Structure 1
Amino acid sequence: MAAPLQFVAAIAIFAGWGIVARSIDLPPPLLLAIICGAGAATCAVMAKEPLKWHPHAIVVGTILAADLLLLILAYRRIDFATAVALHNAGPILVIMLAPVIAGDPFRLRSLLLAVAGCMAVAVVCGAKISEAGPDTLSGICFALMSAVTLALSMLVQRKLMKQGENVINTVLQYNIVLCLWYVVAMIVWPMMEGEDGFPDWSIRISDVVSAILAGILAQGGAMLLFNSASRHLDSDGMARLSLLGPMMTVLMGALFYAETPNLIQIMGLVVILATSLGFHNKSLPRSRKTDLLND
């Protein structure tokens, strides 16, 4: 499969995270532990070389573990359009932090892009806060925190990722780290919810099977497609194709949950995505073959 088709297929699968979050009735850490475990098993079956651990896998996997958990929590509390708009504000933070963390040169144009993006985020948040209850407010916070983890993931991977590394082993390492963190989260979760001991979670076999299938598809197939395609696409191509992801997510919200975004949400999302595209076009070298993971 050609690299652009691989990339678009991966983006389309990732766009279904909101449906996974809402349709599979399992506690978030348990849901993600099963999904990432299934993804790891898929990669292990496909691996042709012995697993060689790299330190960056632990760092990136830890950030991605936080990112997925926050995104799941956001999707369960707010509409898809708001969640995906705030999550995709991550590159705006990259614009502001790249000179400090990645050593990129400061650019006035990048600062202006960041200001415009932050204003769009504020408008989207303001539109939701005006009618918000406790769940909506917490959902907005989770989505904003997921933007931070997305930005950290982009910055860390730009700094640590080595070109030419085995794609299957890379994804396998990420999934193992993710799964381990979610097992830890399963132990900590009851204390966060004020419960004594391990919670009495009602678990249906159908939900477990659905989570396994989601893991094979998303954390296995989609991540492999994404990372494989990323090695053959330049940053401009990746940025433009990535814009399909948020649009697909909003479309899924409209089709499956009758969540039609209003004009403010659409305008805010467009500005945020335009800012992200401007970041990719100007801040990443065209020859750079990245291994960024897009949620």
Structure 2
Amino acid sequence: MATDMQRNTASGAARSAPGSGRGGPALLVLGGAACLSVSAVLVKVAGVDPATSAFLRCAIALLVLAPLAWRESRRLGGLSRRGVVVALVAGAALGADYVLWTRSIFDVGAGIATVLINVQVVVLPLLSLLVDRERPSRRFLFACPVMLGGIVLISGVLESGSASPNTLQGTVFGVLAGTAYAAYLYLTRRQGRAEPGRTVTPLAIATAGAAATSAALSPLSSGIHLTGIPPASWLAMVGLAVLGQVFAWLLINSASPHLPANATAALLLTQPVVTVLLSLVLLAEVPTWPKVAGIVLVLASVAAANRVWPIRKEH
């Protein structure tokens, strides 16, 4: 009886939470994915080495998040001890994701690395299934192979025949990065359900943890170099921190507790799609036909998996 009452209370809280109406959380996650997509363009514009970029996006973001977190704590009270620990572990996973992914780029190239990091679309629902007994929808299971196929096309893997001598090492780094990415998403989503309404404080703590982890793991990549960065690159890094760290994760972390794990994972696959489109508009990088086909596949499968249109008529 108590268990049923707890479930009813939790489901009622989820329905009454801000932005938890139909389509609201999904739009917020899409907005967060768009911010992450802009960050990829800003990384190119900044021209800063990967490890420094990973560290600075977190360190600069803390300057924005710290006063917002203080204000949230004054209004809602401090985060629980468990919440602080979970946020730090999640931040460590995010920092590991940043460094491992950039390291995998050196070994296998940006295209394959983009495919590998998106193992999160499988790992996140799998974590929710194993720990929380949350089963992914049948629609998601059918759409998942199509999503991953679209990501392969977008990455350009099939268009390049050159193989790196460090392919195995880079593949391991890429899969570990995608797993760490999924772990961050899972932990923040779970803690968001445990302490609803607290979004900024956990993100600030996680960002501090990500900055520390990025610094600790930076020797795996290119190391951190803070001297000799031109003003234009600093400006791009500020934009990266604000859009790719603050806005992106505030949107995603506030919405994901109100969505199934498979929905969050699928919606985040729109990130490489938007990156390709932004690169076309802002950097004049014209996508090839396989990339365009991949964009169509990802958008169609994400829409189908999230019931934007029915796969079959339901009576």
| TM-score, L = length of structure 1 | 0.68
Q: Which residue of 2 aligns with 1:248?
A: 274
Cα deviation for residue 165 of structure 1 reads: 4.2
Alignment of 1:103-114 (within 5 A): 103-105=133-135, 112-114=142-144
Q: Note closer, same or farther for the CA distance 1:266–1:141 as it changes in structure 2 (3 Å cut).
A: farther
In structure 2, the residue matched to 1:262 is 288
Contact 1:63/1:153 (CA < 8 Å) preserved in 2?
A: yes
Aligned to 2:183: 152
- Are the counterparts in 1 of residues 120 and 181 from structure 2 also a CA contact under 8 Å? yes
- Distance in 2 separating the partners of 1:67 and 1:163: 25
For residues 130 and 228 of structure 1, the distance between their equivalents in structure 2, rounded to whole angstroms, comes to 41
| Larger Rg over CA atoms | 2
Asked if the contact 2:269–2:298 (Cα under 8 Å) also holds between the matched residues in 1, the reply is no
Match of 1:173 among 196, 201, 205: 205
Q: Residue in 1 aligned with 2:99?
A: 69
Residue in 1 that maps onto 2:246: 220
Alignment partners' CA distance in 1, 2:137 and 2:259: 21
Q: Separation in 2 of the partners of 1:18 and 1:141?
A: 22
**Partner of 1:15 in structure 2?**
37
Q: Percent identity?
A: 19
The letter of the residue matching 2:38 is: G
Aligned to 1:60: 90
CA distance in 1, matches of 2:268, 2:38: 14
Letter in 1 for 2:205: Q
Q: 1:96 to 1:122 in 2, by over 3 A?
A: farther
SS at match of 2:217: helix
> Which moves more between the two structures, 243-252 or 165-174?
243-252
Tell me the distance in 2 between the aligned counterparts of 1:103 and 1:86: 25
Counterpart contact for 1:66–1:146, Cα < 8 Å: yes
Conserved in 1, the CA contact under 8 Å of 2:41 and 2:275?
no
Aligned residue for 2:181, secondary structure, equals: helix
Q: What one-letter code is carried by the residue in structure 2 that aligns with 1:151?
A: A
Q: In 2, Cα distance between the equivalents of 1:118 and 1:280?
A: 16
Unaligned runs of 5+ in 1: 282-295
Asked if 1:184 is matched to 2:221, the reply is no
Residue 67 of structure 1, CA deviation: 2.1
- Partners of 2:189 and 2:256 within 8 A in 1: no
Larger helix percent:
2
CA distance in 2, matches of 1:199, 1:164: 36
Distance 1:87 1:250, change over 3 A: farther
| Alignment root-mean-square deviation, CA | 4.3
Equivalent AA in structure 1 for residue 186 of structure 2: L
Q: 1:138 to 1:202 in 2, by over 3 A?
A: farther
- DSSP 3-state at the match of 1:16: helix
How far residue 72 of structure 1 moved from its aligned partner, in angstroms, is 4.3
Equivalent residue for 1:291?
A: none
Query: Unpaired segments of 5 or more residues in structure 2?
Result: 1-17, 308-315
Taking structure 1 as reference, are residues 169 and 59 closer, same or farther at Cα in structure 2, changes over 3 Å only?
same
95 and 273 in structure 1: CA distance in 2 versus 1, 3 angstrom threshold: farther
How far does residue 144 in structure 1 lie from its aligned partner after superposition?
A: 4.6
CA contact (8 A) 2:125 2:136 kept: no
Contact 1:6 1:229 in 2 (8 A): yes
- Distance in structure 1 (CA, Å) of the matches to 2:199 and 2:136: 32
Measured in 1, the distance between the counterparts of 2:243 and 2:139 equals 39
Q: Which one of 42, 46, 62 corresponds to residue 24 of structure 1?
A: 46
1:204 maps to amino acid:
I
| Between 42-51 and 175-184, the greater mean CA deviation after superposition | 42-51
Indicate conservation of the 8 Å contact 1:7/1:226, yes or no.
yes
Of 100, 105, 114, which residue of structure 1 is paired with 2:130?
Answer: 100
Counterparts of 1:158 and 1:244 in 2: how far apart (Å)?
19
TM-score (norm 2): 0.64
CA deviation vs aligned residue, 1:33-74 (integer Å, no higher than 9, x gap): 222111112111223126545221122111111223344456
The answer (yes or no) to whether the contact 2:105–2:113 under 8 Å persists in 1 is yes
For residues 93-148 of structure 1, what are the alpha-carbon distances to aligned partners after superposition, in whole Å with 9 as ceiling and x for unaligned?
Answer: 34455433443348776655555556666676761552445699987765554433
